[in-house]
């Protein structure tokens, strides 16, 4: 009888351990780090979290509002998210530990999941401010995005390449897209620089409220940045109300980044379900329509996660 009781205890313990293991398996979280709600990262992150919750077994997924690229890299390194959207130059700076960009040491845990779409440097001024060129920004009030955000790092790079600095401006505000636009509507700012996908909601909103001028970033300025992530491009005519011609600017790729603590199987499922459900991404925002599987690892600034690499090898994107 004593032996039977002992066996019962052992069996109960085994069942309890099996149950807790099953529960642990059920409690996989994928926290997708995005940006401000008025940018492009947020709707794409929400779409991704929905894809993962629906298509990866035992996964709960959420999209978190953040200050975007730079903060996202720090959160990933700290294990406070499983996936993040970020600009190519921010990812590279984080991995290398570029102190000027706000990374005091290399964030070596970062791993690539996929390339996505391009950001475009979009400098938009109130038409009545008199700003028509980059040089006209001198002595004006401008918002450059949240401090140390990907947008703000882009602003520093573009201004430096154009021979400008923050000290040339009458006032610099470090504000998210939506707040920048509200200040422009109230005539408290003359211009805003936003690094985002084409047709970003904040600038669309602004263009329907006040007459705007989209300021050109000439190709020679883009080249002068001296970073391969910055490529000459254009904002096509009629992207925004009142913008009737193509505007030269810089394009910078965005990447989905994960970290080495994410299991190979989960990274595999994240890459696979992204491309198996790419139409959901396309429906979430116009900018996503340029996401293509064949470009998934092109220009990746960090090592590709082994789990994602397994998927890309299966589909012939990697050898």
d(CA 55, CA 48): 10
Specify the domain boundaries for CATH 3.40.190.10 within the chain. 27-117+254-314, 119-252
Measured CA to CA in angstroms, residue 218 lies from 89, 152, 231, 251 at distances of 20, 19, 11, 12
pLDDT tens per residue, the chain (319 residues)? 555 555 555 555 555 555 445 545 557 999 999 998 888 999 999 999 999 999 999 999 999 999 899 999 999 999 999 999 999 999 999 999 999 888 999 999 999 999 999 999 999 999 999 999 999 999 999 999 988 889 999 999 999 999 999 999 999 999 999 999 999 999 999 999 999 999 999 999 999 999 999 999 999 999 999 998 999 999 999 999 999 999 999 999 999 999 999 999 999 999 999 999 999 999 999 999 999 999 999 999 999 999 999 999 999 999 9
d(CA 254, CA 229): 10
Strand partners for 256: 85, 114
Buried b (16+ CB within 10 A) or exposed e, 128-160: ebebeebebbeebbbbbbbebbbbbbbbbbbbe
Q: Assign 252 to helix, strand or coil.
A: strand
Under CATH, which number does the domain 27-117+254-314 receive?
3.40.190.10
The CATH number of 119-252 is which of 3.40.50.10420, 3.40.190.10, 3.10.20.30, 3.40.430.10?
3.40.190.10
Q: ∠87-180-50 over CA atoms, to 5°?
A: 50
Q: What is the pTM of this model?
A: 0.84
């Amino acid at each position: 009888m004593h032996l039977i009781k002992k066996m019962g205890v052992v069996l109960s313990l085994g069942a309890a351990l099996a149950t807790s293991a099953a529960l642990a398996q059920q409690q996989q979280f994928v926290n997708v780090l995005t940006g401000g709600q008025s940018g492009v990262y947020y709707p794409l992150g929400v779409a991704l979290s929905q894809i993962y919750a629906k298509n990866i077994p035992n996964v709960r997924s959420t999209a978190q509002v953040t200050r975007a690229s730079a903060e996202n890299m720090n959160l990933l390194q700290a294990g406070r998210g499983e996936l993040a959207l970020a600009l190519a130059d921010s990812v590279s700076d984080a991995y290398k530990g570029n102190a000027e960009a706000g990374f005091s040491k290399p964030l070596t845990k970062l791993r690539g999941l996929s390339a996505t779409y391009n950001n475009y440097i979009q400098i938009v001024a109130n038409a009545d401010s008199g700003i028509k060129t980059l040089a006209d920004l001198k002595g004006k009030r401008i918002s450059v995005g949240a401090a140390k955000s990907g947008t703000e790092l882009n602003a520093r790079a573009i201004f430096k390449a154009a021979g400008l600095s923050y000290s040339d401006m009458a006032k610099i505000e470090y504000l998210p897209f939506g707040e920048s636009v509200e200040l422009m509507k109230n005539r408290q700012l003359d211009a805003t620089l936003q690094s985002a996908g084409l047709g970003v909601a904040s600038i669309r909103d602004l263009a329907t409220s006040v007459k705007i001028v989209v300021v050109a970033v000439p190709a020679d300025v883009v080249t002068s940045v001296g970073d391969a992530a910055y490529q000459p491009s254009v904002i096509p005519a009629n992207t925004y109300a009142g913008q009737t011609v193509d505007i030269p600017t810089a394009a910078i790729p965005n990447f989905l980044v994960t970290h080495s603590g994410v299991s190979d199987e989960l990274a595999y499922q994240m890459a696979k379900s992204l491309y198996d459900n790419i139409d959901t991404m396309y429906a979430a925002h116009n900018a996503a329509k340029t996401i293509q599987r064949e470009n998934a690892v092109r220009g990746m600034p960090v090592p590709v996660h082994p789990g994602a690499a397994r998927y890309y090898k299966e589909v012939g994107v990697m050898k």
